[in-house]
Amino acid sequence: MRIGVLASGRGSNLQSLIEAWQEGKIPAEIVAVGSDHAEAQALTRAEKADIPHHAFPLKDYSSRIEQEQAILTWLKESRIELLVLAGFMRVLSPDFLKALNCPVLNIHPALLPSFPGLHAQRQALEYGVKVSGCTVHFVDEGLDSGPIILQEAVPVEPGDTEEILTERILKVEHKLYPEAVRLVINKLIEERNGGKRE
């Protein structure tokens, strides 16, 4: 299976996917890495792994719609069969998802459906929860609302700051995301049955 990845920042989840792929843990090939930021470290990681990559900074386009269309065209030309969002800080439009016509995965630093959207770790701390975590889910037209693939809990420790909790969750994300991708590729889990194993 041909995988495309979109990332906006440092790309640590991308790196975990690259390493799992290189170690043969993911039976697929990462063929495209795109970012909406030209300086994203994710692009540097892709370059080091000899993966085709491209930046789509908003300033190069007349609108977000035009930017999204350029990303869509590039992914289609790359013939991707699975799109993985690895810290891509943009909500994809329903038109994009329909036109792409392949599964799209995302990882979120909370136990969905709790704390969707931005700053999930901050939301968790402000609410006072004792357990946080991360969720890999299929992307649908809502905000962090698609069928859940995998989740793992992460304890909230006394004295945690947003930064400390973020790093603790991120370590779990790096293990959980490659496993979720493996399950989807091997058809052990599918979007149409609500994220449940067959």
Residue spans of the domains in the chain: they are: 1-102, 106-190
Query: Between 197 and 115, whose confidence is greater?
Result: 115
User: How many contiguous H segments (helices) and E segments (strands) does the chain have?
Assistant: 6, 7
> Three-state SS for 189?
strand
pLDDT digits (tens, 9 = 90+) for 33-80: 999 999 999 999 999 999 999 999 999 999 999 999 999 999 999 999
Residue 97 has pLDDT above 70, yes or no: yes
3-state secondary structure 62-123: CCHHHHHHHHHHHHHHCCCCEEEECCCCCCCCHHHHHHHCCCEEEEECCCCCCCCCCCHHHH
**Could you say which of 108, 119, 137, 174 is catalytic?**
108
Which pLDDT value is given to residue 192? Answer: 60
CATH number for region 1-102: 3.40.50.170
CATH class of 106-190: alpha beta
Round to whole Å and give the CA distance between 189 and 181.
10
Rounded average pLDDT over 112-130: 96
Span between the terminal Cα atoms of the chain, in Å: 20
pLDDT digits (tens, 9 = 90+) for 174-196: 999 999 999 999 999 877 644 44
Which pLDDT value is given to residue 189? Answer: 87
DSSP label at residue 158: T
Domains 1-102 and 106-190 share a fold: yes
Does residue 53 carry a catalytic annotation?
no
> Three-state SS for 53?
strand
Q: Assign residue 192 a region: left if phi > 0, alpha if psi is -120 to 50, beta otherwise? A: alpha
